[in-house]
Each structure stands twice: as structure tokens, then as C-alpha cells.
Amino acid sequence: MSTPSARILARLRSATAPVSGEDIATELGISRAAIHKHVDALREQGYQIDARHAQGYVLTGVPDRLDASELGPRLRGAWRTIDWHATIDSTQRRAHELARGGAPEGTMVIAESQTAGRGRLGRVWHSPPGVNLYLSLILRPPLAPAVVPQLALVAGLAVARAIEEQTGMAARLKWPNDVLVGDRKVCGILTEMDAEVERVHFVVVGIGVNVNASEEAFPPDLRDRATSLAITTGGPVDRAGLAAAVLAALEGDYARFLAAGFSPLRVEWEARSALSGRTVTVRAATGAMTGTVAGLDDDGALRLADAAGGIHRVLAGEVTLAQ
């Protein structure tokens, strides 16, 4: 059962004309004084609510926040549980904690800022407040642990689709985990799992999208490699709209992936690949290799052609352009 504040907000959101306090009071079965108190509380949470004389209340502004109140009504799929934080060390850490406690698939941890955002390979994910998307999603896929890295490809594809839907810009994918606009990174994905050798307990898919960060918000050493959607589109991007689009695309692509594996998604992934035909160096724990990218295999492995035309499959590694 939703709270009186949530019901007042829902009523004002759907209204096309001012709504009188009396009408809301009757609908909710509480006094007008109580309505007034809830409206004040909503204002304190950042909602702009005009009280128009002899007409009623009008919602004129909502806070730019990715909590259940703002993001919840925009979610389109079955994943709806939001664990929101104004600030947190890392949404990944929190998602692991919730998952260990039994949180179901689709539970999402979202923060407005992170003090210890985690990137791949032990790096730091720069997480300034109120401008970007920091999301960790708990999944419980019935998969073998070896297949789990493919989920990072699925997530990247979903983020690319969401960016295209929300901004109209083409998003490209840099194997395995990065989403680029132009030649710069706008999103990083960190997939972590808790598993036994043969059984996955849970996966946490961490998604960081630079949405409205300004150039100055990036550390100087990142400015030539990273950008935000707002910088590239030239105007602010609706964060809740983008978050909802990411989750809708990911829920759909995840279902397709569980039903039929990565292979049906491969063509869509490759159509957005930033690396096809380019010469790259891949550094992995086992060593480095340079070659020309010849697409992906059905299991998401990168196909690298050597100078003699021989194809090498790369399952994991860090890619840099060799030229």
C-alpha cells in the first residue's frame, strides 16, 4: 500500500488541471490539514507544488533524483525494487550485501554519488554527485560460471540501445565492456559474480553512465578519453528516462540471452562495434597479442586475425587501439 505522500504525488502527476485539497482529502480519506502537511513534506523533498488560490495544487517541478519516487513510475518491466542512496561507497558492495541476504533477481542499487566507485581491474570509477547513473543490478542466472562474462556484452548492448533511444545519438561498443559515443567512453560495465565452480549464486552487473557530468567534472587525465551524454548532445539528458530505458532494454536482452544465448544478440552487438576491422592490442593475464578485429564468436569471444590471417579467440582482456 503506498503512502499518502506517494498517492498525492501520483494524483498530481496525472492531473491536467489544478487539484483541490478537498478532492484529494476525499479521495484519500484524510483531512485537508493532513494533505497540507504531506504537501509540505513533498516540497521539502524537492517537489515544486504550487497552491493556486481557489483552484488547488499543481505539480510544477520534480527533483532530479533516481529514487523509487522518481524512477519507480518510469520503470517499464518486472524489475522494480530500488535500493536508493544519496551517497554510498559503492553500489556494487551494497548489491553484494543485499544478494547475500537473499535479494531477488532484478533488485537494483542506485546512488547519486559514490565515494569508492569500483571500475574494472581494480580501478576507481569517478562518481560525482547528482549528474550520472550509478546502478548495480542483482541477477540470478541459471548459467554456468564460464558463461557469465557474456552478461557484460548483453549489458553493453542494452546501454547502447538506451542511449540511442533517449538521445538519438549512435552509441558504439568497445569489447568487452565499454560504451562509447564518438571515440570517447560514456559508460563502463563491471560484472561480478558469486559462484561455486559449477554453480552461480548471483551476479552483480554494475553500470556507470556519464550522463550530465560537465567537462570540469572529469579528472584531467580522463578528459581526452571520457565524455558525458550532455557534453556530446549539447544539453541535459533526463537521467530517470535514461535509467528506465537502460533497465527496460536490459530486461529484454537478458530474457533473450537466457532463452537462446548470446548468438541472437551478436549481430546487433557487432553492428555497433567500435573495433571491427581495426588493429588492436589485447592484454590479458596470459600475455599480449596484436591483431585485426574480425568480429565476435557466438559465445562473445573476440576474433583476432594475425598477420598471416590466422584467427585467435580472446575470452578476456583489455583492448587498446594499436594505431
Give the interface with ligand BTN as residue ranges (CB under 6 A). 90-92, 114, 117-120, 123, 125, 134-136, 177, 188-190, 206-208
Nearer to ligand BTN, 56 or 188 (CB): 188
Looking at residue 120, what DSSP letter applies?
G
Q: What is the DSSP string of 220-282?
A: GGGTTTB--HHHHHTS---HHHHHHHHHHHHHHHHHHHHHH-SHHHHHHHHHTBS-TT-EEEE
Cα of 210 vs its chain's centroid, Å: 10
Output the smallest distance, CB 66 to ligand BTN, in A: 12
Cβ neighbors of 226 (< 8 A, separation 6 or more) are 184, 185, 186, 210, 218
Phi-psi region of 269 (alpha: psi -120 to 50; beta: other; left: phi over 0): alpha
At 169, list the grid cell.
545519438
In whole angstroms, how close is the CB of 136 to ligand BTN at the nearest point? 5
Give residue number: closest CB to ligand BTN: 188
Minimum CB distance to ligand BTN smaller for 59 or for 110: 110
Cα–Cα distance for residue pair 115/160, rounded to 1 Å: 26
Measured from the CB atom, the residue of 52 and 123 that comes closer to ligand BTN is 123
Q: How far is the CB of 95 from ligand BTN (least distance, A)?
A: 8
Please identify, using beta-carbon distances, which residue of 135 and 138 lies nearer to ligand BTN: 135
62 vs 189, which CB is nearer to ligand BTN?
Answer: 189
Nearer to ligand BTN, 117 or 317 (CB): 117
Q: Which residues pair with 248 in a beta bridge?
A: none
Closest contact distance (angstroms) between CB of 132 and ligand BTN is 8
- Whether 150 and 241 have beta carbons less than 8 Å apart is answered as no
Q: How far apart are CA 176 and CA 228, in angstroms?
A: 20
- Rounded Cα distance between 153 and 159, Å, is 10
Measured CA to CA, the distance from residue 189 to residue 157 in angstroms comes to: 11
Residue (206 or 295) nearer to ligand BTN, CB? 206
Q: Please, what is the minimum distance in Å from the beta carbon of residue 199 to ligand BTN?
A: 24
Shortest Å, Cβ 200 to ligand BTN:
19
Cβ proximity to ligand BTN, 136 vs 150, nearer residue: 136
What's the closest the beta carbon of residue 57 comes to ligand BTN, in angstroms? 36
Nearest Cα to Cα of residue 121 among 181, 203, 188, 183: 188
Phi-psi region of 102 (alpha: psi -120 to 50; beta: other; left: phi over 0): left
Residues linked to residue 56 through DSSP beta bridges, in sequence order: 52
Smallest gap from residue 306 Cβ to ligand BTN (A): 27
